[in-house]
């Protein structure tokens, strides 16, 4: 084994989902293999595996069954073949990573593993270990969500005597909204006049047909929890004066119907907080019809809270909530006072993460 390893810059093993118990955080075989010397470097050997699953290594250490080193290797290879490996997992010592989105905590590991992908016709991203692990879990969870969604639509279609495959064939032709990165970036709750209404309508029709659709039903519940998280972030500051930038459910519109920001504002007012709100697209003079009726029924005194500029809201609030992604909200940092808290629901400040004076809803 030692002689064989001197010919490699990385050790590669095909690993399927059933082999997780073999390639484990405290597996003696691989720990010893990682310490075997190379001809070019007498102390370094990154381990690379190709596998379908990734254990959460820091939280879920796995112990190996009582097997010899040879049996462990044979078992891993056999299970990989049976499971049909498809995802690339990188391992140095006991730290697994993904590839194409593979991780490395040091430049040396990154270079050694990157050479394996020189001819890969796909982008290669080197990311931190935890990011690589989470990408894998996110992918498989989303795949499961897609299966469940498709199956629930199929159940409703069958009850209505509708061709479910024809429905989903056309559904999948929309590569701008349905099959795309759109809506997949973490942020605030969805709203507007379409998504909440249609979700409720479809769930209601399913109940009429006696078709259980827990995924569809849970979407609205999950959306409400995101609003609750935002409220708790503001409440936790202990401040009573809150500035809100953005009232419509997205930038560039005056549509307030079922805007999650409106729901958040209602909740803050109900808890006795003082508010100042700015949205360049929302004004008493221009809002008409059902849109105006909605906001005046939800917050009757809304127009007394609206301000004419971003500066007025920033100057008023001990806490500033950024509620939609209007470009003018992304440039408020120089206007903030020392110690003034920002609750960001749209990641307005790029890659900034939560700290003492800044809280992102999902970052």
Where in the sequence numbering do the catalytic residues fall? 194
Q: In DSSP terms, which residues pair with 15 in a beta bridge?
A: none
Nearest-angstrom CA–CA distance, 298 and 300: 6
Phi, psi torsion values for 251, nearest 5 degrees: -70, 150
Q: In DSSP terms, which residues pair with 344 in a beta bridge?
A: 322, 360
Structure tokens at 306: 């609206």
Strand extents, DSSP E, 259-310: 274-278
Taking only Cα atoms into account, the Rg of the chain, rounded to an integer number of angstroms, comes to 26
Residue 334 CB: number of other CB atoms within 10 A? 5
**Residues 6+ away with beta carbon under 8 Å from 104:** 90, 92, 97, 110, 113, 126, 129
Please state at what angle helix 129-159 crosses helix 195-208, rounded to 10 degrees.
50
Phi, psi torsion values for 258, nearest 5 degrees: 55, 30
DSSP assignment of 26-77 equals T-HHHHHHHHS--SS-TT---EEEE-S----TTT---PPPS--HHHHHHHHH
């Amino acid at each position: 084994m030692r002689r064989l390893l001197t010919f490699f810059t990385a050790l590669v093993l095909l690993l399927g989902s059933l082999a997780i118990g073999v390639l484990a955080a405290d597996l003696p075989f691989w720990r010893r293999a990682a310490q075997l010397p190379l001809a070019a470097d007498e102390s370094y050997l990154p381990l690379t595996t190709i596998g379908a699953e990734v254990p959460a290594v820091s939280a879920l250490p796995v112990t190996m069954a009582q097997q010899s080193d040879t049996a462990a290797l044979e078992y891993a290879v056999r299970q990989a073949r049976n499971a049909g490996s498809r995802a690339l997992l990188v391992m140095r010592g006991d730290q697994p990573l993904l590839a194409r989105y593979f991780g490395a905590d040091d430049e040396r590991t990154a270079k050694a593993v990157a050479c394996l992908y020189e001819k890969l016709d796909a982008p290669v991203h080197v990311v931190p270990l935890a990011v690589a692990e989470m990408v894998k879990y996110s992918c498989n969870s989303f795949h499961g969500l897609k299966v469940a969604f498709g199956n629930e639509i199929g159940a409703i279609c069958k009850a209505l005597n509708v061709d479910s495959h024809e429905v989903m064939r056309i559904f999948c032709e929309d590569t701008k909204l349905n099959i795309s990165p759109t809506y997949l970036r973490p942020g605030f709750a969805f709203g507007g006049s379409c998504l909440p209404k249609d979700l409720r309508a479809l769930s209601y029709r399913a109940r009429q047909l006696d078709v259980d659709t827990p995924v569809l039903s849970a979407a609205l519940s999950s959306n409400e929890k995101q609003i609750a998280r935002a409220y708790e972030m503001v409440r936790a500051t202990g401040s009573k004066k809150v500035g809100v930038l953005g009232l419509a459910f997205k930038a560039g519109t005056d549509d307030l119907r079922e805007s999650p920001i409106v729901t958040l504002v209602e909740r803050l007012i109900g808890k006795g907080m003082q508010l100042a709100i700015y949205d360049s697209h929302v004004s008493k003079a221009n809002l008409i019809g059902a849109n105006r009726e909605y906001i005046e029924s939800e917050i009757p005194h809304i127009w007394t809270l609206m301000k004419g500029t971003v500066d007025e809201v920033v100057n008023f609030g001990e806490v500033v909530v950024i509620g939609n992604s209007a470009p003018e909200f992304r440039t408020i940092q120089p206007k903030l006072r020392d110690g003034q808290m920002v609750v960001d629901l749209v990641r307005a400040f790029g890659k900034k993460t939560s700290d003492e004076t800044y809280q992102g809803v999902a970052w």
